[in-house]
Amino acid sequence: MIRAIKGTRDLLPPESGLFEEVETVAREVFRLYNFAEIRTPIFETTELFARSVGEETDIVTKEMYTFQDRDESSLTLRPEATASVARAYVEHRLWEKPGLTRLYYMGPMFRRERPQKGRYRQFYQIGAEVMGSGAPQVDFELLEMLTLLLQRFGLTDAELLLNSVGCPQCRPAYHEALRKALEPRLPRMCADCQRRAQTNPLRVLDCKVPEDQPIIAELPVLKDYLDLGCREHFQQVCQLLDSAGIRYRLEPRLVRGLDYYTRTAFEFVHGALGSQNSLLGGGRYDGLAQVLGAPAQASQGIGFAIGEDRFVLALQAAREKAGAIVPAGSDVFIAPVGAEVQSACLALARELRAAGLSVETGEAGRKLGKLLELASRTGARFALLVGEQDLSGNQIPVKQLATGHQQSVERAGLSDYLKQALTAAPVTAGEVGKS
RNA sequence: GUGAGUGUAGCUCAGCUGGUAGAGCGCUGGAUUGUGGCUCCAGUGGUCGUGGGUUCGAUCCCCAUCACUCACCCCA
């Protein structure tokens, strides 16, 4: 049997419906903040990611799907989308348009990691970027938009973690101080930290080994090394959040794994996600566009990416907790009584669909009992029992499957009756999905 | 890349220190040729992940391998 390859999966109903719902609501919320969609290619030159994400990052050194095209150029399946958006910003000189560039995207990303709960090799991200301004106000509005999106789904138990990671001007001093402080302490730390001290010293701060915690507490804190500009920027972001009543937790040890981040860095974490608890992450990346060819004064940017798979996981947990059920089936199931009403039933279905109802048609000629059983078990909300005499009398029996209540309805007023009844009637007692 | 756990029917799982497999759910039909959910009956289902070894005999014990899951790592 041919199976989906490791780390990839088929999104089937009812779960695929949740992805659709998350995307729909995200689009609505993005529209409120005047974001428009960008669709970038799913593969790019390898160089783009090496230059923007960072040559030494884990993503670039060991997680990318890179391959040779037939002309021998090196291409890579996108591991994230900010690089592509920045590339498009530069390629189309978007800074020359009036106002800020506010773009959102959604789609699959690819990283070759060992699969785990909430971690896949093909995974889905929903993200947005604001380019062309370094104002703290922009950071604030982005975070506010995210809290609104989480609110829309009732994920109010997600927690915002906030930090400033400085800029290329002040970070080297911190790096130096950190390295000095680490040197004498390293022998007492775990093997991972000893390795990280070489590859990515900032990640030492993120270590979870209990024995290392007292040592980490003694290390210099990035906050104390921020230059004036970075410090004021961060302070203003915090003030704006405070005055809007948005809760957050300062996390001086929050570190991002991509090289392009500057100043504001944030993450929303959620308890239902297991060890991959980061629901979404993002931050400012003020120099990125310049690296790719934008003029310095237009190269500021900030953005985030939501892990859609994780978002859905959290949503499922929340809905399960709330005991929510959703109808899985069609609005209407048409049950033909006898083989000779086939085409009349199909015409009726056409009529109801034209009125906006979702209609499933039972196979003409099957026993009515079987058809009703099918209607009920597929979660249809109403069944129409359509035989010769019903058609000739222009009275169609309509059965509400959850209650068993049945009444005849004038054919001409059928779609209006159904639409009205659908909003009033309880959800089917038939098969329901786990949300 | 590293570690641990698990692989038996479409799904969830049972299977006694080793005698070549069961249940529930599902699916199809019937009881019920114009009335579903409940019930009853029948049918449909499996190279017991794969390969090798031990044994008279292996779903069970041993080795290898693959897959899945979780964790490390990393990140969304």
The string of DSSP codes covering A145-212 is HHHHHHHHTT-TT-EEEEEE---TTTHHHHHHHHHHHHHHHGGGS-HHHHHHHHH-GGGGGG---GGG
Query: Looking at the structure, do residues A312 and A428 belong to the same domain, yes or no?
Result: no
Collapsed DSSP state (helix, strand, coil) of residue A402: coil
Residue A330 DSSP SS3: coil
**Could you identify the residue whose CA is nearest to the C1' atom of nucleotide B70?**
A116
Q: Are residues A316 and A386 in the same domain?
A: no
Taking only the tens place, the pLDDT of each residue in A259-308 is 788 999 999 999 888 888 899 999 999 999 999 999 999 999 999 999 99
Percentages (nearest 5) of helix, strand, coil residues in chain A? 45, 20, 35
In the 408-427 segment of chain A, residues within 7 Å (Cβ) of strand B are: none
Give this complex's ipTM.
0.85
| Percentage of chain A lying above the pLDDT 90 cut | 66
DSSP state of A59: I
Report if CB A125 to strand B is under 7 Å. yes
Task: Give the closest nucleotide to A4 (alpha carbon vs C1').
Answer: B67
* Amino acid symbol at A431: E
Shared-domain flag, residues A278 and A427: no
Burial string for A120-154 (b: 16+ CB within 10 Å, else e) reads: bbbbbbbbbbbbbbbebebbbbbbebbbebbeebe
Contact between A162 and A204 (Cβ < 8 Å): no
Give the tokens for residue A324.
Answer: 């929510």
Number of domains making up chain A: 2
Q: Which nucleotide is nearest to A431 (CA to C1')?
A: B37
CB A418 within 8 A of CB A352: yes
End residue of a domain, out of A307, A322, A337: A322
- Residue A416 sits in a domain of what CATH number? 3.40.50.800
Position A326 scores a pLDDT of: 62
| Distance in angstroms (rounded) separating the CA atoms of residues A249 and A271 | 15
CA distances A141 to A36, A144, A146, A147, A159, Å, are 16, 5, 9, 10, 17
Domain enclosing residue A369, as ranges: 328-433
pLDDT tens over chain A, length 435 residues: 778 889 999 888 888 989 999 999 999 999 999 999 999 999 999 999 999 998 888 899 889 999 999 999 999 999 999 999 999 999 999 999 999 999 999 999 999 999 999 999 999 999 999 999 999 999 999 999 999 999 999 999 999 999 999 998 988 888 888 888 888 888 888 877 887 787 778 878 877 777 788 888 888 888 899 999 999 999 999 999 999 999 999 988 888 778 788 999 999 999 888 888 899 999 999 999 999 999 999 999 999 999 999 999 999 888 877 776 665 689 999 999 988 999 999 999 999 999 999 999 998 888 898 899 989 888 899 999 999 999 999 999 999 988 888 999 999 999 999 999 998 765 544 333 322
Per the CB < 8 A criterion, the answer to whether A233 and A133 are in contact is: no
Task: Read off the pLDDT of residues A56-71 as tens digits, 9 standing for 90 and up.
Answer: 888 998 899 999 999 9
Residue A233 lies in a domain: yes
CA of A280: nearest nucleotide by C1' is: B76
Rounded to whole angstroms, the distance from the CA of residue A300 to the C1' of nucleotide B1 is: 36
Q: Report how far residue A205's alpha carbon sits from residue A219's, in angstroms, rounded to the nearest whole number.
A: 8
Distance, CA of A2 to C1' of B20, in Å: 29
Q: Is the CB of A191 under 7 A from strand B?
A: no
Q: Is residue A318 located within the same domain as residue A334?
A: no
CATH of the domain at A112: 3.30.930.10
Cβ of A338 near strand B (under 7 Å)? The reply is: yes
In a domain, A202, yes or no: no
Using the structure, give the distance in angstroms from the CA atom of A366 to the C1' atom of B42, rounded to a whole number: 20
In a domain, A6, yes or no: no
Regarding whether A127 and A29 lie in a shared domain, the answer is yes
